Amino acid sequence: MHPIARLLLLCLSLLSLPALAEQLGGLYQVREPVASQQPAARDQALQRALDTLLVRLTGKPEVLQNPALAAVRQDPQQLILKYGYEGQALVVDFDPASTQGQLRQAGLPLWGANRPSLLVWWLNEAGGTAQLVGDGQDSAQPLRDAAQYRGLPLRLPMADLDEQLVATPENLASGAGLEGVSGRYGANAMLSVRARQEGDKWLAQWHLSADGGQSQGTAEAADSTALADAVMLAASERLAERFMGKQEATERLTLQVGGANLARYAELERTLEPFGARLRRVEGDRLVYQLESTVAQVRSQLALIGLREEGAAGTASGQAPMVQPRETTLSFRW
């Protein structure tokens, strides 16, 4: 065990604080539908699985056009730990360290497993009837599958009578009138969707509220399953922008976090993992890290676990600007 980790075990209390965000399980596992187990079909599914993972880890579909990833996309197996078949799906487990290394070498931001929980209000309109998708319904499974595929921690409403009364097509399309019934779920973000079948296609109007920001859009697909994936992909892209910030050049940062205990230390380690954070020292209940990221990304991720910033970012004390590189210090506390 690392000496600092041992020190934490000895010195930090076991008091815990519930995290606001959720730790997404299976982040590096991708299920891809496959027509057969023939080598050609398998290889195509492996490449699709890697592409899905790259988008999931960055929130940016355009990442697939990045020339720095061209070589690894042509040979996905260098990042794969194992794969196997489950029914009509190829289940692929990727190596987190190798995958993160490829993204860092390409200069791309990395969205870790600590993600904002998403409450989804989804209304299906077909055949003259409308149904609000509830947590225990069969119609919830396509939403669960699409959310997992796109890397979103999903929460669904109970769809009781009170919720059905406010989940009108107009409210679902605009995201209005749902705040009162949404509070019970304690999610970080809310997505409302009005999905309807028109002829041989499905259409959706969606509205996303997250971190004080609003966005909306439309989607179209051949069936309801494909529509769920299209909407979740759009939501993932918007949430990545909101909680990771725009892509900027990273810099070396020093991060100080006060009010730590053992449970908080574990949560902080998971949150900082995408930034390659290294714990440098422990000063009482204060942890001091060094990492590579942007100020905006660090701020948004730490806000998800309930940290508040102390003071403004600035250059680390004791540096000579003409001799040493600029290093920004951020201070947070629980």
* Sequence-distant (≥ 6) Cβ neighbours of residue 40 within 8 angstroms: none
Least-confidence region, from 83-87, 131-135, 217-221, 238-242: 238-242
CB-based burial label for 283 (10 Å; 0-12, 13-18, 19+)? exposed
Res. 70: pLDDT tops 80? yes
Note the pLDDT of residue 248: 59
Kindly indicate the confidence band of residue 121, based on its pLDDT and cuts at 50, 70 and 90. Answer: very high
Residue linked to tokens 């997505």: 191
Q: Where are the beta strands (DSSP E) in the chain?
A: 22-23, 29-33, 80-86, 89-94, 114-115, 118-126, 129-132, 154-155, 189-198, 201-210, 213-221, 251-258, 278-283, 286-293, 308-309, 314-315, 328-333
Q: What is the pLDDT of residue 112?
A: 85
Of 11-20, 40-49, 98-107, 249-258, where does mean pLDDT reach its minimum? 11-20
Please tell me whether the overall predicted TM-score, pTM, comes out greater than 0.95 for this model. Answer: no
Q: In 43-66, which positions are buried (b, 16+ CB within 10 angstroms) versus exposed (e)?
A: eebbbbbbbbbbbbbbbbeebeeb
Across the chain, what does the average pLDDT equal? 86
Q: How far apart are CA 281 and CA 217, in angstroms?
A: 46
- Going along the chain from its start, the domains and CATH numbers come out as 3-21+247-333 (no CATH), 28-105 (no CATH), 116-242 (3.30.160.100)
pLDDT at 223: 95
8 Å CB contact between 328 and 314: yes
Greater confidence (18 vs 144) lies with 144
* Choice between 324 and 190, residue whose per-residue pLDDT is larger: 190
Burial class (CB within 10 angstroms; exposed 0-12, middle 13-18, buried 19+) of 97: exposed
Contact 191/173 with Cβ under 8 angstroms? no
Task: Work out the average pLDDT over 185-194.
Answer: 95
Are the C-beta atoms of residues 124 and 224 closer than 8 Å to each other?
yes
Tell me what the mean pLDDT of segment 92-118 comes to.
Answer: 90
Residues 6 or more apart from 268 whose CB is under 8 A from it? 257, 260, 287, 305
pLDDT in tens, 258-270: 998 988 898 898 8
